[in-house]
Amino acid sequence: PTVDPEKIDTGKALAQVKSRIHATSQVPAKKTRFITYCQRIAAILLLPAIIAIVALMMKKDHQEPLIAYNEVTAPYGMVSSLTLPDSSKVWLNAGSTLKYPAAFTSNVREVEMSGEAYFEVHADKEHPFICSFAKAQEEVITLVTGKVAVSQENNIKHLLPGQQLNYQRASKSMEITDIDTYKYISWKDGILAFRDDPLKSIFNRLEQVYQVRFILKDTSINQFTYRATFKGETLDEILDYMGMSIPITFRTTETEKEGNDSINVRTIEVYKN
């Protein structure tokens, strides 16, 4: 069709063009703002999630690791030896038990024991060696070489080589004496050394090593002392030697079952001649 240029309303046409241009530019602008807003929301919501995950990872990394423990018990009539993860050496006397971690991972090297043990501790000043004992009525610690500190609540005692500490749980008393260490550590070499010891003490030692029970039929028997060194002798041989030099007689009365394992325990009565 033919257009008459004189009839065109140029002002109206310009206004329509501007209106279309403005309308066209508004659509992507709104979309852009919406997308940007969503991205900001996603960042705000995601950030706590990331922090939580990192916190869980950090918590997992800082949790105390599960530590495996080993427990060793020396059979009656025998001495057991072992080496700890830090290269310290331990000898366990008959019937004694030691519990220790498969690896020392903390600032201290801590073990638990009941009975009697001899320790050759690997020197490490940065990681003190700590031994805790089962709750016995009496605890005895003998130092051959090195340094030992014994603590009971706020009471701390320091031992020197050749000294022994005796702790009585009932009175919470700790007494230190100078002793001959040989008779207290000779058992680790399979030796029973008695040095003018009272019979009560000797019978206690024989009960521990051979898992027997002595019953004294006369309390005056406790006044006798005995001096001897045994290595490799059986219990009957030891009792025969004791009967030759002390006016006492031994009589086995019965064998009983004792403990959860139903172990036979020989009962020996001791009479004064």
Quickly list DSSP for 186-202: GGGGTEEEEEEEEHHHH
Residue 11 pLDDT: 59
pTM for this predicted structure: 0.67
Whether 69 contacts 102, CB under 8 Å = yes
Residue 237 pLDDT: 96
Q: What is the mean pLDDT of the chain?
A: 80
Residues 6+ apart with CB under 8 A from 175: 165, 166
Low-confidence ranges of the chain (pLDDT < 50): 2-3, 5, 21, 23-25, 27-59
Residue 48 pLDDT: 43
